[in-house]
Structure 1
Amino acid sequence: MIEAELKARVHSPEAVMRQLDERAEARVEVYQDTYYDDLAGSLERRDQELRVRTVHGPNGLRTVLTFKDTTVDASSGSKPEHETRVEDSQEAHSILQGLGYIPAIAFEKRCRNYDFEAYGRHIFATLVRVPEIDGMFLEVETIVDEADVTSALDDIRALLDELGIGPEDLTRETYTSAVAAQGR
């Protein structure tokens, strides 16, 4: 399955938040993300990602191991995503390190998450703040088959337009590269 996703800089966070609050109940969570690679940086060179995410939310903690394969849509950066919940976050980190992966970068995402239906699709929208990066972002995604990526992205663009976010606000910059740039 493909995570068809667009990310945008949000210039009017309060207005966007109000509109999303009208569509669904917000779930406030903090993500602790650690991205792994080998010493040679092979995953990054192949446009792949390996991540352990621990989510701190109203219902406690949960940890998810994610592998994102190479980009299938260059304009959006949408990728196939494989994800599974893990019981013990420390064990997940230990397993990856035992396999020769090292933490490449770690950071926190402060998220306000929304689940709702739009354009006949299940939509997951997240307002995001990353302490190391100025501003707020909105990620909007839906899970689709590869044949449906273009149509799904068109629907996401239409939803973003409803929220007052235009094509000029879209960004392909990753949090990992932006956080890494702050550390230099």
Structure 2
Amino acid sequence: MPIEAELKARVRDVPALVAALDERAKAEKATYRDRYFDSPDGTFTSAGHELRIRTVETDGGVRNVLTFKKPSVDVASGSKPEYETTVGDADAAESIVVGLGYRLMIAFSKQCSNYRWHEAGRDLLATVVTVPEIDGTFVELETIAETEGDLSAALELVRATLAELGIANDDLTTELYTDAVAASESRG
């Protein structure tokens, strides 16, 4: 069961972070258009599950990804078992998801710069993120833990790498973009 070992943080010094990431990898700019779904009574999401259709737009093209995440297996990081597959048509995938009884919970876009590299035997992905509805810039750093037993080692590498990038433990957050966007929209 693959687990996304990920930590997210607010970025205090964006130019310094970008410079440190540029030393590791070349940035790929992308726009993520995310649609999250929930059961009609909200119990699917409140139980910690996530169901998302993401359209990723880059200079290289467009791809659509259907993602299902189980509840967190690590409370401190929010790391979750994750299953993803590419889908050809995001609107058709949404019709299927809605036809199965789920409802669109929230949709928003993220402006991202993705940095991919290999370190300590693992593939790492750092994503520098801005969301129009949320103040500030975030960084997400992730790798995949193949099992729950491998999660601690994976998160240790993620924490150490974030520290090397100038991200302090006080900057870490487990707040979900979905919650932050929903709060922003409710303030209207």
**Same-fold call, TM cutoff 0.5:** yes
One-letter amino acid of the structure 1 residue matched with residue 144 of structure 2: I
SS in 1 for 2:181: helix
Q: How does 1:21-170 map to 2 (within 5 A)?
A: 21-144=22-145, 145-170=147-172
Q: Which ranges in structure 2 are unaligned for 5 or more consecutive residues? A: none
In the other structure, the counterpart of 1:12 is 13
SS in 2 for 1:4: strand
Cα-to-partner distance string for 1:11-65 (whole Å, 9 max, x where unaligned): 0011100111111111000000000011101211210000000011111110000
Q: Which ranges in structure 1 are unaligned for 5 or more consecutive residues? A: none
RMSD over equivalenced CA pairs, Å: 0.7
In the other structure, the counterpart of 1:182 is 184
SS in 2 for 1:76: coil
TM-score (norm 2): 0.96
How far apart are residue 146 of structure 1 and its match?
1.3
Ranges of 4+ aligned residues in structure 1 off by more than 6 Å: none
How far apart are residue 102 of structure 1 and its match?
0.9
- The count of aligned residue pairs is 184
Percent of residue pairs identical: 53
One-letter amino acid of the structure 2 residue matched with residue 155 of structure 1: L
